[in-house]
C-alpha cells in the first residue's frame, strides 16, 4: 500500500479523491499497488463525505509522516503551495501538482530539489488539463529538436472568441454567458487578460527548450481589445481570431515567447478548435507538426491527469522521471527579434481614402484592403516581411486616429 | 556505450541510422549514454555510406552477440521479422519495431515473451508514424476507462479522399496523383482496401481494451467504392467522407472493431484532418475526447518515433515498460452488436419517385432526401436508431437496383 496526501479539496482535489476512491480497482491494477489517501489538507470543513475522517488542517502532519511518499498539491496559487511543495520535496517525498502558477514561477527550483533528492515532481495537469502533452513532448519527441510550439491554452477565451465568431455575439455578452455556464470565473482577469495561458507557455517553453521562462518574460496580451469587426475582417481574409500562446527557438539560441490574439488561417487545424477545447501544436525537426487536443480544464479531465501522475509516481517510487530544465536568465527571452511575419493591421481615420493610398504606397499595391466606411476603418494583411520593417511602415501612417496590429499564424 | 542492431535498411531503417548518427549528441544526452549502431542487417549492398562497414547479412551475428542489448526491427512484413524478433526477445534483448503488420499479427505473444524475459518490446512507430499516441494512451490515460477510439489511420486514403472532396477529382485520378507524389505504393491495395488501417485498429484496440484483436476480426472496407456523388451528397448533409478506423467497448465487455468509409460531421475536428495527416481521437470516461494529430508516415517522422523508443529502451535496460495485453479469443470482437447509429444510404432505382415515398414511409416523413434524377439516385441520412433495425428497413426497399450504406460519426 502507498499512502498519499492531498493538499487542497477544491474542484480538482475533490475530483482526484473521487477518481481514486471510485475507480480503486482500475488504479491499483495500473500501479500494481494500492493507493491510499491518508490525509486531505484543507482549512474548510467537509463533514458529509464518505472520507470526511481524512481531513486535516495542519500541514506538518503530512510533512512529518514518513509513510507519505507522494503528496498531491491541488491548492493553486504560489503561496503557501510553494513552501509546502518545497518542504515535501526536501523531505524526500514525490510531489504531483496541477498548479501552473507554481510551476511557471518556481519550476526550475523545485525540479532541481526533486533531482537532488531523487524523487519525482510531476505536473502533467498544469498544461492542457486532461490532454497528455508534457509527457509526450519530453518522451516521445526525444529524438526531435523542437522548433516551435503554438497553442490554444485557455478554454475560457476560446469559448468567448468562438461565440463571437460563430454567433456574432459581442465580447461582453459572450463573457457573461461563459460565466453563467461555469467556463469563466467571477473575476475573469486571469483568463481574458492572458495570464493563465502565459503560465502554460512558460511550462511548455521550459520543457521544450530546456531553460526556465518566467511569466514576466512572456509578451502577454488578452482578448479584451478584439471587436466583432476584427472577427469579421479576419473572416473575409479566411482567418479566425484565436488566443495563441507561442514559443519559438531563435537562430541565436534565445527564444521568443508570447500570448496574443492571433489570426489563424482556416486551413490550419488550430482554427477548428472550438468551444472550451485546448490544442497544442508542436513542431519538431523530424516529426513536423504534431497536435494534442482535448478539454483543457474541467474537474474530471484535470483530475484524471493528476491521477495519471500519481500512478506514474507510484510505479517509480525509487527512480526519477525525465522532466528537467535549467534555471532561466534575464536575456534568454527576446521578443523583439527580427522574425518574419504577416501582420493584420486595422486603422481608424477620418480620411479613409487618403490612408488607403498611404497603405498601398507603404505595403504594396497588391494589398487587399477592407474598407468599412461606416466605422471609418480600414483592415488589411501585410505581405510576409521582417516584423520590425512592418512596424516601421505602420508607424509611418499619417492622419490615423487608432491602430491595432495582430499577428497571424 | 550501448550497442544496438538495425534489422532493415529501407526507408525507415535508413532514417533511423541517419538520426542516430547525425544527431548523436542530442540522443546521447537524452539517453545519458552513447548509442552505437554495431550492425545493420540487410541483404542488399550499401557501399557508399559513411557507415557501410556495419552491414551484415547473417542474423545469427546479432542474435549471438551478447553486447547487443537493443534490436531495432524495421524490415516490415511478418516473415522473417517474426522469427527474428521472437529469437531476440527470447535471448534477452529488447526490441523496438515500426512493423504494424507484425504487432497486429503476433503482438500478444511477443509482449508475453518480453515480459517473461524482463526486456522491452516497444512499437510506438507502428501507429500514427511520428505522432506520439500509444505511450500517452497507456500512460497518461491510466486513470481513464477508454470507451471508444476513432481515427484517421492511413495517410494515403486520406490524401485521396481529400483530393476528391476539395478538388472534385475522381478516385482513379487522385490515386494516380498520390502515387506520383510518393504517397501511395505502386500496388496500393494495402492502403486503399483498408488493411493498413486495420492493423493499426488492432494495435490501438489491444492497448486500450487489454486483449489482442486480430486483423481478420476487424470488419474492414476500403475506399474504392466511394464516388464523387457520395462526396457531394455528404457535403450537402454537412459531412465529409473519411476512412475511419474504430474500436468501441460494448456493454457486454466485448468490443466492436472496424475500418470503413464514414461520414464525419463538419463540426467534428476529425473532419478537418486533411492531406496525408493522421489523427486519433480517444474517448475516456474522465477526459472526454482527446485527439493526437500529425504526419502518420514519412521517413523522418516514423524514424523519430523509432528513435524515441530506442532512447526509452536505453534508459530502461533493466526494467520493463508498461505495454501489455492478453491474448485474444474468437468471440471477443462482435461487429453485429446492436449499437445505435445514424446511417447514410444511397440507392439507385429506375423509379425514383416510388422509392422516395417508400423511404419516407420506412424511415420517417422528416427525412431529407437528395434526389439525383440524372443518375437515378437518392441519398439520405437516417435518424439515429439501432443498426439492425435500420438495416432491416433498408432491406425492405423495393424496386432498387443498387444500395450503398455508410456509417456516420
What are the tens digits of pLDDT across the range A151-170? 999 999 999 999 999 999 99
In chain B, pLDDT over 70 holds for what percent of residues? 100
Cβ neighbors of A379 (< 8 A, separation 6 or more) are A229, A230, A233, A344, A345, A346, A347, A369, A370, A372
Q: How far apart are CA A289 and CA A280, in angstroms?
A: 10
Closest by Cβ to A295, choosing from B141, B287, B322:
B287
| Residue pair B259/B278 in contact by the 8 Å Cβ criterion | no
In order of A28, A243, A345, B294, the CA distances from A168 in angstroms are: 48, 17, 21, 32
What is the residue range of B78's domain? Answer: 2-130+299-315
Q: Are residues A279 and A172 in the same domain?
A: yes
Q: What digits encode the pLDDT tens for the residues B292-338?
A: 999 988 899 999 999 999 999 998 887 777 688 999 999 999 988 77
Mean pLDDT of A187-196: 96
β A377-381/A288-295 pair status: unpaired
Contact B288 A132 (CB under 8 A): no
Name every chain B residue with its beta carbon within 8 A of the beta carbon of A249.
Answer: none
Residue B246, strand partner residues: B150, B258
CA A234, CA B214: separation in Å to the nearest integer? 49
B294, B128 contact by CB (below 8 A): yes
Q: For chain B, how many structural domains are there in total? A: 3
Does A145 contact B19 at a Cβ distance shorter than 8 Å?
no
* B362 preceded by a cis bond (ω within 30 of 0): no
Residues A255 and A390 both lie in one domain: no
| HSE of A10, CA atoms in CB hemisphere, 13 A | 11
- Separation between Cα atoms, residue A93 and residue A71, nearest integer Å: 7
Same domain for A93 and A50?
yes
Residue corresponding to grid cell 526507408: B11
- Residue whose C-alpha is closest to residue B17's, from B46, B57, B59, B58: B46
Residue A58 domain-assigned (yes or no): yes
Considering only the beta carbons, identify the residue of A19, A286, A291 that sits closest to B300: A286
Residues B160 and B116 in one domain: no
**Residues B114 and B35 grouped into a single domain:** yes
A22 in a domain, yes or no? yes
- The verdict on residue B83 lying in a domain is yes
CATH of the domain at A281: 3.30.360.10
- Predicted confidence (pLDDT) at residue A291 exceeds the cutoff of 70: yes
Q: In this predicted structure, what is the pLDDT of residue A283?
A: 95
Q: Give the nearest chain B residue to A137 (CA atoms).
A: B132
Reported as a single tens digit per residue, the pLDDT across A22-60 is 999 989 988 889 999 999 999 999 999 999 999 999 999
Are residues B162 and B234 located together in one domain of the fold?
yes
Per-residue pLDDT, A138: 86
CA distance B40 to B45: 11
Chain B neighbors of A283, CB-CB under 8 A:
none
Tell me which chain B residues have a C-beta less than 8 angstroms from the C-beta of A274: 267
Q: Give strand ranges (E) for B236-328.
A: 239-249, 255-265, 277-284, 288-295
**Is A325 inside any structural domain?**
no
Determine contact: B17 vs chain A, CB below 8 A.
no
What Cα–Cα distance (Å) separates residue A133 from each residue in A159, A192, A331, B100, B136? 21, 23, 27, 24, 8
Q: Which of B142, B305, B319 sits opposite A140 (nearest CB)?
A: B305
Residue of B nearest to A27 (CA): B143
**C-beta atoms of B304 and A143 within 8 A:** yes
Question: How far is A269 from B295, CA to CA, in rounded Å?
Answer: 13
Number of Cβ within a 10 Å radius of residue A138: 18
Which ranges in A9-58 belong to alpha helices (H)? 11-22, 24-31
Choose one of A232, A262, A295: the last residue of a domain: A295
Among residues 286-325 of chain A, which lie with CB inside 8 Å of chain B? 286-295, 298, 300-301, 303-305, 307-308, 311-312, 315, 319, 322
Chain A residues with CB under 8 Å of B274 CB are 267
Residues pairing with B37 in the sheet: B4
Domain boundary at B238, B260, B295, which? B295
Interface of A with B in 115-154 (CB under 8 A): 124, 130-132, 135-136, 139-145
Q: Are residues A246 and A145 in the same domain?
A: yes
Q: Across the interface, do A274 and B267 touch by the CB < 8 Å criterion?
A: yes
Same domain, A234 and A253: yes
Residue B321 lies in a domain: no
Q: Say yes or no: A142 and A278 in one domain.
A: yes
Q: Does the distance separating the beta carbons of B290 and A132 come in below 8 Å? A: yes
Pick B143's closest partner by Cβ from A288, A298, A311: A311
ipTM of the modeled complex: 0.91
Q: Given pLDDT bands bounded at 50, 70 and 90, which one contains residue A140?
A: low
Question: How far, in Å, CA of A102 to CA of A89, rounded?
Answer: 14
Is residue A333 in a domain?
no
DSSP secondary structure letter of residue B148: E
CB-based burial, B348-387: b 16+ in 10 Å, e otherwise: bbeebeebbebbeebbeeeeebbeeeeebbbbbbbeeeeb
Which tens digit of pLDDT belongs to each residue from B133-177? 998 898 767 888 999 999 999 999 999 999 999 999 999 999 999
Check: pTM over 0.90? Answer yes or no: yes
Instruction: Name the B residues in 214-243 with CB < 8 Å from any A CB.
Output: none
Write the CB contacts of B383 (distance below 8 Å, at least 6 apart in sequence): B342, B363, B364, B366, B367
| DSSP run (H or E) holding A259 | strand A255-265
Q: Does the pLDDT at position A314 exceed 70?
A: yes
- Distance between CA B192 and CA B179 in Å, rounded? 12
Q: Which residue is closest to B125 within chain A, CA to CA?
A: A140
Residue A251 lies in a domain: yes
> Nearest-CA neighbor of A277 among A151, A147, A366, A389?
A151
CA distance A384 to chain B (A): 25
Q: Which residue of B has its CA nearest to A316?
A: B319
- Cβ B286–A131 below 8 Å, yes or no? no
Residues of A in contact with B124 (CB under 8 A): 140
List, in order, residues 6 or more apart from A337 with CB less than 8 Å away: A250, A252, A254, A256
Contacts of B333 (CB under 8 A, 6+ apart): B213, B217, B218, B254, B255, B256, B257
Q: State whether A389 and A264 are in the same domain.
A: no
Chain A partners within 8 Å of B311 (Cβ): 142-143
Ranking A12-21, A82-91, B65-74, B310-319 by mean pLDDT, the lowest is: B310-319
Average pLDDT over residues A57-72: 97
- Is B200 catalytic? The answer is yes
Query: What is the mean predicted confidence (pLDDT) over B65-73?
Result: 98
Q: What's the rounded Cα separation, in Å, for the pair A106 and A203?
A: 10
Q: Are residues A265 and A373 in the same domain?
A: no
* Tens of pLDDT, residues B247-292: 999 999 999 999 999 999 999 999 999 999 999 999 999 999 999 9
**Catalytic-role residue among B93, B163, B200, B249:** B200
By CA distance, what is A301's nearest residue in B?
A: B287
Q: A352: domain CATH number?
A: 3.30.70.1110
User: DSSP label at A326?
Assistant: B
Backbone angles phi and psi of A321, in degrees to 5: -85, 180
Q: Could you identify the residue written with the cell 544526452?
A: B29
Name the residue facing A132 among B19, B140, B301 (closest C-beta): B140
Asked if the Cβ–Cβ distance from B30 to A142 is below 8 Å, we say yes
- Kindly report the CATH number assigned to the domain that includes residue B47: 3.40.50.720
Q: What is the mean pLDDT of residues A336-350?
A: 92
Question: CB distance from A62 to chain B under 8 Å?
Answer: no
Model confidence at A339, in pLDDT bands (50, 70, 90)?
confident
- Answer yes or no: are the C-beta atoms of B203 and B104 closer than 8 Å: yes
Give yes or no for a cis peptide into B407 (omega within 30° of 0). Answer: no
Same domain, B262 and B178: yes
Is residue A145 within 8 Å of B138, Cβ to Cβ?
no
For residue A361, tell me if it sits in a domain. yes
Q: How far apart are CA A125 and CA B82, in angstroms?
A: 39
d(CA B42, CA B6): 9
Q: What is the nearest CA distance from A29 to chain B, expressed in angstroms?
A: 10
Question: What is each CA distance from A309 to A97, A402, B166, in whole angstroms?
Answer: 9, 49, 42
Amino acid at each position: 500500500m502507498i499512502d498519499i496526501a492531498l493538499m487542497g479539496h477544491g474542484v480538482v482535489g475533490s475530483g482526484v479523491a473521487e477518481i481514486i476512491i471510485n475507480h480503486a480497482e482500475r488504479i491499483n491494477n495500473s500501479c500494481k499497488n494500492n493507493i491510499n489517501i491518508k490525509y486531505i489538507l484543507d482549512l474548510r470543513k467537509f463533514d458529509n463525505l464518505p472520507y470526511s475522517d481524512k481531513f486535516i488542517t495542519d500541514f506538518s502532519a503530512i510533512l512529518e509522516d514518513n509513510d507519505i511518499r507522494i503528496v498531491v498539491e491541488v491548492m493553486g496559487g504560489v503561496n503557501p503551495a510553494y513552501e509546502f511543495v518545497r518542504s515535501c520535496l526536501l523531505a524526500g517525498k514525490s510531489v504531483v501538482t496541477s498548479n501552473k502558477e507554481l510551476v511557471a514561477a518556481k519550476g526550475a527550483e523545485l525540479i532541481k530539489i526533486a533531482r537532488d533528492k531523487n524523487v519525482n515532481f510531476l505536473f502533467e495537469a498544469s498544461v492542457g488539463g486532461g490532454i497528455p502533452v508534457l509527457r509526450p513532448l519530453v518522451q516521445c519527441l526525444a529524438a526531435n529538436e523542437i522548433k516551435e510550439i503554438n497553442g490554444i491554452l485557455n478554454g475560457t477565451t476560446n469559448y468567448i472568441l468562438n461565440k463571437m465568431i460563430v454567433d456574432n455575439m459581442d465580447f461582453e455578452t459572450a463573457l457573461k454567458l461563459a460565466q453563467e455556464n461555469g467556463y469563466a470565473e467571477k473575476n475573469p482577469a486571469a483568463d481574458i487578460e492572458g495570464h493563465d495561458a502565459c503560465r502554460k507557455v512558460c511550462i511548455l517553453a521550459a520543457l521544450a527548450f530546456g531553460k526556465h521562462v518566467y511569466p514576466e518574460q512572456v509578451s502577454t496580451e488578452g482578448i479584451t481589445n478584439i471587436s466583432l469587426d476584427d472577427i469579421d475582417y479576419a473572416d473575409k481574409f479566411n482567418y479566425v481570431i484565436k488566443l495563441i500562446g507561442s514559443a519559438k527557438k531563435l537562430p541565436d539560441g534565445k527564444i521568443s515567447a508570447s500570448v496574443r490574439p492571433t489570426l489563424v488561417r482556416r486551413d490550419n487545424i488550430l482554427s477548428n478548435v472550438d468551444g472550451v477545447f485546448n490544442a497544442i501544436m508542436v513542431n519538431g525537426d523530424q516529426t513536423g507538426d504534431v497536435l494534442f487536443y482535448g478539454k483543457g480544464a474541467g474537474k474530471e479531465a484535470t483530475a484524471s491527469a493528476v491521477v495519471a501522475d500519481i500512478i506514474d509516481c507510484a510505479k517509480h517510487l525509487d527512480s526519477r522521471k525525465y522532466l528537467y530544465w535549467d534555471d532561466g536568465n534575464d536575456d534568454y527571452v527576446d521578443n523583439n527579434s527580427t522574425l518574419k511575419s504577416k501582420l493584420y493591421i486595422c486603422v481608424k481615420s477620418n480620411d479613409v481614402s487618403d490612408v488607403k493610398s498611404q497603405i498601398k504606397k507603404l505595403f504594396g499595391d497588391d494589398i487587399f484592403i477592407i474598407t468599412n466606411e461606416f466605422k471609418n476603418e480600414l483592415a488589411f494583411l501585410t505581405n510576409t516581411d521582417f516584423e520590425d520593417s512592418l512596424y516601421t511602415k505602420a508607424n509611418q501612417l499619417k492622419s490615423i486616429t487608432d491602430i491595432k496590429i495582430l499577428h497571424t499564424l
